[in-house]
Each structure stands twice: as C-alpha cells, then as structure tokens.
Structure 1
Amino acid sequence: MAFMSLPDPKMLLRLVFTIAISAFGGGVATVLGLPAGWLMGGALGVTIAAMAGAPIVLPDGLRNVIFVLIGMSMGASVAPDSLSLLASWPVSLAALAIELVVIIASTGWMLTRLFRLDAGTAYLSSFPGHLSFVMGIAATGVGNARQIVIIQVIRILMLTIAVPIGATFLPIDHFEVAQATDFLDPLQLLALALGCVAMGIVFIRLKIPAGMVLGAMAAATAAKLGGLYSEAMPTPLVIITFVLTGAMIGSRFVGITRSEFMAAAKGGLIATAMTIGIVTIMALAVAQVVDMPFGQIWLGLSPGALEGMGALGIALGYDTAFIAAHHVIRLLMLSFAIPAVVMIIRWQEQQATQLRHNSGQDKH
C-alpha cells in the first residue's frame, strides 16, 4: 500500500506551465521597471492566460506553502526601527493614520454601495499597499480574489503611470531604494519558517480568518521587531514568493466573465481617484499646521511606491528621509490594520449568518 500517490503528470505539466507564465510575466514587468514587478507581472501574465483559456492550475497544497512564504516576507520586510520613527513627525504621522482609516472606510463603503461588492472584497480592495499580503488573504477565501486583484491592479497602474509622467519633467534619473546587504542564512530561514507555521496553525485553531498567512506574518513581524533577527529574506526566495503568489492570483481568473471584469475595473478607477483626493485634502490640512512644503507632505502621505515618490522628492529638494519614513510607517500600520479589518468583517458575517439562522427557526 502506497503512503503517498504520485502527482498526475498532466497536472504537473499544467502547474509548471502556470509558474513559467508567472515567471515570464514577472521578468518582463521587472525589466520595464514596474513596482513589485515579479508579483504584478506574474499575476497579469497568468490572468491573461487564464482568461484566454490556457490550462492554468495551482494545487491547494502549494497554496499553504505560498501563504507561509508571504507571511515570512511581510514580517521580514518590516524595518526594525519602524517603532522609533513614530516619534519623529507626530502631526504628519497622525494624519497618515487618519488618512488610512478614511481611505479604507470610504472606498470600501463606495464599493459595497455603488458596485454591490461583499464587505471582504470591498475592503481588501481598499487597502493602499501590501498587495502581496492582501492577495494572500484573498486567496484563502476572504472576498472575491478576482475582483480584488482587478481593482488593486488598476490602482497601482494609475499611480505607476502618474508618477513617471510627473518625473519626466524633472532633472533626475531615478531614486535608489536602500538595498538589504545582510540576509537570513538557511538555519535562520528554517527556524523562522517553523515558527511561522506553528503560529499559523495556532491562528487556524483559533478560527482566525486567513490563519496561515496572518499567523506567519505575526510570528515573523514579532521576531523582527523583538530583535530576534535583523536580516532580510534572500532575494531569490522573495522572487520565488512573488512568482508563486502571482500564479496563485492569476489562477483565480479561470472562467471570469467580461461583465465581472468591467465592473471591478470601474470600481478600481473610482477608488483610486477617491484615494488621491483624500491624500490631497490631508496634505493641505497638515500644511496648515507644520512648516513644511505641501509637495513634501503630499509625497509622504501618498499611497504610491517609495521609488517614484522618492524620485520626485529628490528632484524637488525635499527631505527624502521624511518621505521614506512615512512610507515605512504606512506599511507597518497596514500590517496591523489588514488583519484587524478582516477579523471584523468575518465577525460581522458570522453575526449575520446567526441572525438569519435564528429568524428561520422563529418562522418554524
């Protein structure tokens, strides 16, 4: 009697094809200089292939591995000095926190009311950042992953187009983001992975939604902020994580309808316009209180990629430390906000289900 059946050769070929498409799309996007190229390009490549009817597949067993890798990557990417930065610019950082709440609440509300999306889909679509983390949670069954990725891709593409257009008229080349020089060794990676899996299992047992992703991220973040490690994830492993995540995102598009795509795309355009408007209003308010150029505040509060915002900051002679710190803190805030919002949504869904169940019993 065999303890484990061999994988179906056809399924294995389809899996290799899916990952190859994701790697190719990610490579092209990276060469073109798109932010999060390996993730965005991979997701777009597999999405296009899936909508064209190509044999796209991603087994459930592999998804759990991807969830752990996503959680590890998110935790390891948290800057160790994030907490100390909170005291540096209190007014603008308070505005950043308020802004995130307003963006998530207003765009989430708009997507539920105007486009009739469920709460999970609407609010995961509203987070301005941490795309791989958001999509990892969506892939566990929170919200409609297809609609979320369309809205998030539209948001990122709009910002990606807007920033270079602004930078074209400025005398700069590009802004180099600080690159990690120390990386986790194999033993550290193994220890971190085991800790992340253990915490993921605990979260699943506690019935926390997207337990494996959130548990892995919680363990990796706590270890990083607690000083247990300061090194970054090895670049090849990060690329593999993004390629696999892109394949997982794109595989959700098998069988998508055109009407479903168009509705989500319209939602993405409106949500992005709302986000930019909210950032502008908050920057104007902060500029009345602190002695700092409006442009510098706007770049610090904006949901765009650090590379683009930093490029504009250098060109305009702004304090790039201010801009970089606010983007680091934004991602740290989102690391705590995303799990909190997901758990609130799941709690509300359970309450609604219980209410319907009780109503049904009363009628009988």
Structure 2
Amino acid sequence: MHDTLTTRLAALGRFLPTLALGLAGGGLAYWLEVPLPWLLGAMFATTLASLAGVRLRSPGRGRKGVLVVIGVMLGAAFTPEMSGDLTLWGASLSMMLLATAVMMAFSVWFSRRVAGHSLDTALYAGVPGGVSAVTGMALDSNADLRVVGMTHAVRILVLLVAIPPVLKAIGHVDLGSATPDPAQWLWLPGPVDSAWLAGAGVLGAWLGHRARLPNALLFGPALVSAALHLSGVTHAAIPPTLIALAQVIIGISVGVRFTGTSLARVGHTLVMATLQALCLLAIAILAAWGIHAAMGVSLPAALLAYMPGGAPELSLVALSLGIDPAFVTAHHLLRITVLILLMPVVLSACRRSSGKLWP
C-alpha cells in the first residue's frame, strides 16, 4: 500500500510541470479572450512543447478521473424540461450513421491510395472515433501503431482548432458568452448536491465497466447522472472551476500525444493526417448542414455531433459552449457503440476485397 502511494505521488510530481504548462497556456488564452481558452490554450502549449522536443508527462490516471467528471457533467444536461423532438433526434442519428460510413470509406481510401499506408494501418487509422478502443484493437494487427495514433491525435487537434472559426462562420453561436464571469469561479454546489454528483461518478464508472460500455469512464457516469437529473432527484450543476480544469487536462492529453515526435521524421504522416482530417471535417459540415436544412436540427449541435471522433473532447466543447450537450453526447455514444460492434465485420470485409479495391 505504501509503495503504491509513493509511486502515485511520484507520478503526480513528474506530471506537475506539464500541468503547470497547460494551466499557463489556458490562463494566457483566457486573458486573450480566446474561445474555449482552457482547452485550446493547454492543447496549444503542450503540443508546441512536445513538437519542440520537450518530454512531457501524460495525465495518466488523472485523465481517467477527468473522464468521470466530464461524464457526470454531461449527464446533468439531461433535464426533465428537455423538449427534444424524438423525430428530429431519430433523423439526426440516422444522418450521423450515414456520415460516419462515408467518413470511414473515405478515410480508408485516402490512407491507402494517397498516404500509401498498409491496409491494416488504413483501417485502424480511418475509424472516425473511439481512439482508445481502436488503438487497443490495433495492437493485435499488423498496423503501424505510430501512424494510427498520430492520425487520430492530429484529427482531434484539427477538429478542436477548427471549431471556433467554423461556429463563428455559421453565425449561430456567440462564443464570447460561453466564458464564465470571474466572480463565478468560486461557486460550489451544496453538500447534498455534491454527494449526488460524486455518487453518480463512482456508481457510473463501476456500472460502465460491468456493462462493458464503450469509453466506460465517460458514458457510465453520464448515464447515471442523466438518470438522476431526468428523474428530478438532483438539479446539481458542476462548478466552472472544475469544468476549466477538465478542459486543461483534456487539452494536455491531446498535446502530449506528440511527445517524441520529430517534424523532420514524421512530416509526411502529419501532412497526410491533417489533409484527411480536413476532408472529414468537410463531410461533417455537409452532413450537419443537410440535416439542418431538411429537418431544422440545430446546426452547431449537429456539427459537434457529427465530427469524427474525440467523444470526450467534443462533448466537453458542447458542454462548455452550451450547445445541447445531451444531443451531442447521445450521438457520440451511438457512433462509438456501432463502430466497436461492427469493426470486426468491416475489417473482415475490407481484407477480403482488398485486392479488388486497393491493389
């Protein structure tokens, strides 16, 4: 027990400089009034440091804890007063699945024919979401894990950077109003509400693992928290300070993925991953615009829901900007579930037809 505690404290100590860098980046972005300051500021600071050769530490267990917190926060968006039209949700979920299929087909084609990767690498790098599950599955394949990991990391980076200008361009979101007033930073829920939120996190994480949910630490607490809020048991919200800290940790988690990456050595992979991500973003924008025009679904919410991957990151963005977090979370949960269930079938079909489609 003592050795375990000592090991964890040592790991925390090694992570503190990285955390300080992320907080500094987030604080600077907040001062400069950058949209999504704590997330983007921490991400930019750690990404630049990683690419410059600085050896940064991953949040490790800290990221797992943050996923639980984000899950509880997302569940709080499901309220009894929700007026979501089930027909609209059904149409949007169907469009999301169609867009996901198009993204998957394009990604694999791009990776094979343009980037020149092997079939296994193209398949795992091309999955539009579920990076943790996909990376784990790729361990038992002949895929180049470095390319798979970097492609997913670059995709999330590109998406997060693109969100503010894209939302500003469509003119449906006031990004400036999403930043809390400095006087609100010290607000905390009462002890009873805090107990409900903590219980939702602990119980949700346990149930998520027991039920083998995709991204169990995120979606397990989200489902339990949603049940508590929908039933009216609690109406507790999450303190802005905790939301900001969650953004910093998630931003750091993206940035440190580039640790040990040399621009000179992996320039081709970075360029190909960036081009692929921009094309997938274009598909998401077209799909979101289509469902908005046809059914009247909120364009910003559809855009965040259709973006390929990064469920914790994109759900947290929806929560931070107040863009229908329940809607966005439901879409990403369905996307990841379907991808994980169908991946073995997709892999088998692609390998059987590889000689015909990608000689």
Which of residues 243, 246, 266 is equivalent to 1:241?
A: 246
Whole-angstrom CA distance in 1 between matches of 2:35 and 2:331: 22
Whole-angstrom CA distance in 2 between matches of 1:120 and 1:342: 15
1:351–1:199 distance in 2 versus 1, CA, 3 Å: farther
One-letter amino acid of the structure 1 residue matched with residue 267 of structure 2: R
1:270 aligns with 2:279: yes
In structure 1, the partner of 2:223 is 218
One-letter amino acid of the structure 2 residue matched with residue 113 of structure 1: W
1:260 aligns with 2:256: no
In structure 2, the partner of 1:250 is 255
Equivalenced residue count is: 308
Whole-angstrom CA distance in 1 between matches of 2:238 and 2:303: 24
Query: Contact between 1:14 and 1:55, CA under 8 Å: does it hold in 2?
Result: no
1:121–1:246 distance in 2 versus 1, CA, 3 Å: farther
Whole-angstrom CA distance in 2 between matches of 1:223 and 1:140: 33
TM-score of the aligned structures, taking structure 1 as reference length: 0.68
In structure 2, the partner of 1:46 is 46
Query: Contact between 2:59 and 2:253, CA under 8 Å: does it hold in 1?
Result: no
1:239–1:140 distance in 2 versus 1, CA, 3 Å: farther
1:120–1:231 distance in 2 versus 1, CA, 3 Å: farther
TM-superposed deviation, 1:52: 1.8
Which of residues 141, 147, 152 is equivalent to 1:148?
A: 152
Deviations 1:279-316 (A, max 9, x none): 34444445xxxxxxxxx8785676279xxxxxxxxxxx
SS at match of 1:151: helix
Whole-angstrom CA distance in 2 between matches of 1:174 and 1:340: 27
Query: Contact between 1:56 and 1:251, CA under 8 Å: does it hold in 2?
Result: yes
One-letter amino acid of the structure 2 residue matched with residue 106 of structure 1: V
In structure 1, the partner of 2:70 is 70
Whole-angstrom CA distance in 2 between matches of 1:353 and 1:277: 27
The equivalences for 1:71-86 within 5 A come to 71-82=71-82, 84-86=83-85
Whole-angstrom CA distance in 2 between matches of 1:142 and 1:22: 30
One-letter amino acid of the structure 1 residue matched with residue 108 of structure 2: T
In structure 2, the partner of 1:362 is none
TM-superposed deviation, 1:166: 7.2
Query: Contact between 1:50 and 1:250, CA under 8 Å: does it hold in 2?
Result: yes
TM-superposed deviation, 1:19: 0.7
1:281–1:174 distance in 2 versus 1, CA, 3 Å: closer
Greater CA radius of gyration, 1 or 2? 1
Higher relative contact order (CA 8 A, sep 6+): 2
Deviations 1:246-286 (A, max 9, x none): 22222222233333322221112111222233334444445
TM-superposed deviation, 1:218: 1.4
Query: Contact between 1:22 and 1:46, CA under 8 Å: does it hold in 2?
Result: yes
* Structure 2: 5+ residue stretches without partners: 113-121, 139-147, 306-320, 350-359
In structure 2, the partner of 1:318 is none
One-letter amino acid of the structure 1 residue matched with residue 342 of structure 2: Q
Query: Contact between 2:95 and 2:291, CA under 8 Å: does it hold in 1?
Result: yes
SS at match of 1:123: coil
* Structure 1: 5+ residue stretches without partners: 125-133, 168-172, 287-295, 306-323, 356-364
Query: Contact between 2:72 and 2:225, CA under 8 Å: does it hold in 1?
Result: yes
Query: Contact between 2:55 and 2:260, CA under 8 Å: does it hold in 1?
Result: no
Deviations 1:295-351 (A, max 9, x none): x8785676279xxxxxxxxxxxxxxxxxx99x42xx423322322332333333456
In structure 2, the partner of 1:194 is 199
In structure 2, the partner of 1:55 is 55
Of 33-42 and 95-104, deviating more is: 95-104
1:164–1:282 distance in 2 versus 1, CA, 3 Å: closer
